[in-house]
Structure 1
C-alpha cells in the first residue's frame, strides 16, 4: 500500500540523520557513483602513509573502510552527533577523532602529516592543508562540485544563479596552487540522482542542512506537497550531483635549498 503524504513526512522526520551514511535512502533514492572509486583509492594511499589526517570525516564511515592504516591516523569533525559516531567507529581502529570547528587553524603542528584527505568537505582552507603537510606530502580528496543537487535546492529556494558558480574545480585548483601546492590530478563527474518519495526529500534536507537553510517540515509543507504530487504524477524527481577528485602535492625542498642549509660556513677573515 502506498504511504500517504503525511505518513511520508513522518517517516522522513523521524529518521536518524547522524553520521554520513546514506544507506537509509535505499529504495527511496539512488545516486550514480563517480567512476574513480574514491574509497578504494583512499585505502591505497593510506597503506603507503606514515601519518594521515582526514578532515571533516563525518561519521568516519569512509575512513573506516580502509583495510590498513598508518601508524598515526587522525580525523577531525565539527558536528557533535558525527563526533560521537566517528569516535565509536574509528577509535577501535586506533584512529584519534579530534573535535574541530572546521575553521582555521587546524589544531596540528606544521608538517605533521604526509597524507591529508577529505570526502565532501563543507569548507576548504588550502593554507592550513598546505601548512600541516610535510614536504612531499599529498592532499587527496573528493569534493562536491558546482550546482550539485541544485534541481532540488532551487525547487525550494528558487533560482540561485550566483550560488551555481561556487565550488568550481578550476578555481579550487588555482587556490591550491596559490597555497603552494602542485595539483597533480583533477577529474570531474556529473551524476544522476533519482528521488522516489518525499520521505527521502525530508531526510536529505534534514541531513544536508546547508542545501535549504532553516528547513523544517512545517515551514516547507506546501512545497513538499507540491513535490509529492509531482512524483506521484511524473515519477522520480531527477537531480544531478557534481563531484571532483583532486590530488595536490606539497613540493619537496629543492636541492638548492638543501645546499644552502648544509653549506659549510665561510671562514672568518683574519
Structure 2
C-alpha cells in the first residue's frame, strides 16, 4: 500500500460518529493513550457521593461517567450545555433517577439557594458565584479541569494559534477564585501527563470532538501539516503532547 494511500485511509477513519463524551472508538482500540494522573477523580467522587443526600453533576456529557457511580443519593440532578448531548444524557440517566437540565448560561442555573451538599464538575465551565449560591454551607465542590496549556504541541505542529480564551486557566487561578467566593480549599493537584497519538486518524478524530483546542483547524486546509505529523508517527511510532489537568476539592464556608 502506498504511503499516501495509508494516510488517506487513516484520515477517513476520523469521520466515525462521535456522541456524548465517548472516546471509546479511539481509546478502547489503543489509538490514543495517556499517562495516568496521580489522583482519581472517580474515586474521590465515589467517596463523596456515598455521603451525600443531594448532588449535582455539572456538564454530564452523555451521562456516561455519572451512570457508573451508583448508588446515587436520593436527590440527584445533572446539567449539560451541549444540546446534542442532552437527549443522550436523559435517555441514560433519567431511568436511573437523575433529573437532567439543559443549560445555556453558567451564571444562571435552575436551582434554589443552598440546594446541594455536593456539586461535581469534570472538565466543565462554572461560575464561582453560582456554585456558591446553590451549594449548602459545609457542602463540597469537587472539580477536575483541563488547564489552559493543554496539548499545545498539537497547535504548534499544525501551525495554528492557541485558544487564548483559556490560556491562563490553571490551579492557582481556579483556587484563588474559589477562595474569593466563599470556599476553603481542602485538596488540590496539578499535572502535565503525556497524551500519545498512534495514528493521524485518531488525532483528527480528537480535534473534531474538541473543536475548542484549535478552532481554526480544517482537515483540507491543514492536510500538509497533518501529513508531516503522519510521517513523524511512522518514524517514531507515536506523536506525544502534554495534557494539563488539575483538581480541587473545596468546602463552602
TM-score (ref. length: structure 1): 0.86
Residue aligning to 2:146? 144
Q: Give the secondary structure class of the aligned counterpart of 2:193.
A: strand
**CA–CA separation in structure 1 for the residues paired with 2:116 and 2:166:** 34
Match of 2:61 among 52, 58, 62: 58
- Report the count of equivalent residues: 249
TM-score (ref. length: structure 2): 0.92
Query: Comparing 102-111 with 193-202, which one deviates more in the overlay?
Result: 102-111
1:164 CA drift (Å): 7.9
Unaligned runs of 5+ in 2: none
Residue aligning to 1:234? 236
CA contact (8 A) 2:196 2:240 kept: yes
> Is 2:157 the counterpart of 1:128?
no
Query: Comparing 128-137 with 216-225, which one deviates more in the overlay?
Result: 216-225
1:216 CA drift (Å): 3.0
**CA–CA separation in structure 2 for the residues paired with 1:233 and 1:59:** 37
1:247 CA drift (Å): 0.8
**CA–CA separation in structure 2 for the residues paired with 1:148 and 1:33:** 15
CA contact (8 A) 1:180 1:250 kept: yes
**CA–CA separation in structure 1 for the residues paired with 2:216 and 2:160:** 15
Deviations 1:209-252 (A, max 9, x none): 1001143322322221221122112320001112111011111x
Residue aligning to 1:22? 23
The 1:88–1:161 alpha-carbon spacing in structure 2 relative to 1, beyond 3 Å, is closer
**CA–CA separation in structure 1 for the residues paired with 2:24 and 2:146:** 19
1:67 CA drift (Å): 2.3
Q: Give the secondary structure class of the aligned counterpart of 2:211.
A: coil
**CA–CA separation in structure 2 for the residues paired with 1:156 and 1:65:** 36
Max Rg structure: 1
Unaligned runs of 5+ in 1: 252-270
CA contact (8 A) 1:56 1:102 kept: no
1:175 CA drift (Å): 0.3
CA contact (8 A) 1:39 1:65 kept: no
Match of 2:201 among 199, 202, 210: 199
Residue aligning to 2:76? 73
CA contact (8 A) 1:5 1:228 kept: yes
CA contact (8 A) 2:57 2:79 kept: yes
Residue aligning to 1:190? 192
1:146 CA drift (Å): 3.6
Residue aligning to 1:170? 172
